[in-house]
Copies of this chain bind each other. A is one copy, B any other.
Amino acid sequence: MEENRKEYTLGTLAELLGISLQGDPEVKVSGIATLAEAKAGELSFYHNPAYIYDLKTTSAAVVILSTAAADDCSANKLLTDNPYLAYAKASRLFETSSASPGEIHSSAVIDSSARIGKQVSIGPNAVVEANVRIGDHSIIGANTVIGKNSCVGENALLYPNVTLYHDVIVGTNAIIHAGVVIGSDGFGFARDDKVQVKIAQLGGVSIGNDVEIGAGSTIDRGALDDTVIENGVKIDNQVQIAHNVRVGENTVICGCSAVAGSSSIGKNCIIAGAVGIINHITIVDEVTVTAMSLVNKSITRKGCYSSGTGLSESSLWKKNIVHFRHLDKLNNRLKTIENAANIKNSKNNKN
């Protein structure tokens, strides 16, 4: 990566990040690393007290941190109330571009009816079908396929081996990782005796601005109406979004979660990893669901929700699950005793 490394003076960094520098504005940094790994000439950050030792001993040229922690740092300092956010912004300054702007590889197959914006890059063997529109400054990776009538906004980044079916709309600043499929058929059938008769999926997919979609995720097109991903949604790897789902603004869905058909997730939710959400339910705004939970009913109040049993040693677990299968009986046994002992616990007996 060396050839493309970016370099900034601390003065420039402070300006770009909009935070104040305590130190030498002429010092240059050309990389970013953890406190423990940072070398001279590199930037680091401190926001988690677990790393206080690393802060005190870091070789970083400059550290992003809060004023409260400044005394524990002998390097140059970039001071801010939110070091993690400033680190996020700083990290973007050290990215190296993955494509040359405006280069359309000769092996790409682009239909003559497609309208390609200015400074668009299209990688080798990419396929752009009829009536596709691609906004200015977007990058389409190698071997990516964009189906007819689909539309990609400005400044979008589609990595290699992405598949957009027909009539898919992707907003500006989208980041779509390799292996993603958008617009595949929703899973809809009507039974005719034992045979499943396919319901044609005639809706589309509408993805807002500033959405990121992780590697291998799949988003199905709607049956009649569209599947909708609103602005600012962030979707991790191998997430499955079924037909006619709606995901509200700025919601985050972590890896391997699945949302079944026609369910709706509110704004500013956090769906942790490997969560399952059944079909035709609604989750309100600002809900958190913890890892590997099954959401099997609508969530009508904001808050944090979980399911599962927690982890045990398997030998103990085997003993316990036997009783899980008899919990109803166990409750009845308890009631019998309560009655025998004449214990009135009306509240509990409602169990």
Binding site for B on A (CB under 8 A): 1, 32-34, 37, 82, 84-85, 87-89, 91-92, 94-95, 98, 105, 107, 109, 123-125, 127, 141-143, 145, 147-149, 159-161, 163, 165-167, 175, 177-179, 181, 184-185, 187-192, 194-202, 210, 212, 214-216, 218, 220, 223-225, 232, 234, 236-238, 240, 242, 249-250, 252, 254-256, 258, 260, 267-268, 272-274, 276, 278, 288, 290-297, 299, 303-334, 336-338, 340-341, 343, 345, 348, 351
Contact partners of A194 in chain B: CB under 8 A: 232, 249-250, 267-268
Residues of A contacting B: mostly:
loop
> When A and B form their complex, which 3 residue pairs have the shortest distance between CB atoms, in order from nearest?
A88-B190, A163-B178, A91-B200
Nearest chain B CB to A49's CB is how many angstroms away?
A: 14
Q: Which residue of B lies closest to A268 (CB)?
A: B194
> How far is it, in angstroms, between the C-alpha of A11 and the C-alpha of B330 when the chains are bound?
63
> How far is it, in angstroms, between the C-alpha of A192 and the C-alpha of B141 when the chains are bound?
29
> How far is it, in angstroms, between the C-alpha of A17 and the C-alpha of B191 when the chains are bound?
15
Given contacts A189-B234, A191-B85, A322-B351, contact A316 B338 (CB under 8 A): no
Q: Out of B143, B197, B215, which one reaches A143, CB within 8 Å?
A: B143
Contact sample, A vs B, 24 pairs, CB 8 Å cutoff: A33-B225, A37-B225, A91-B223, A92-B198, A92-B200, A98-B148, A124-B127, A125-B125, A145-B160, A145-B178, A163-B178, A163-B179, A177-B181, A177-B184, A178-B184, A187-B255, A215-B220, A296-B311, A305-B311, A309-B324, A320-B324, A322-B328, A332-B348, A333-B348
Q: Out of B218, B232, B272, B307, which one reaches A308, CB within 8 Å?
A: B307
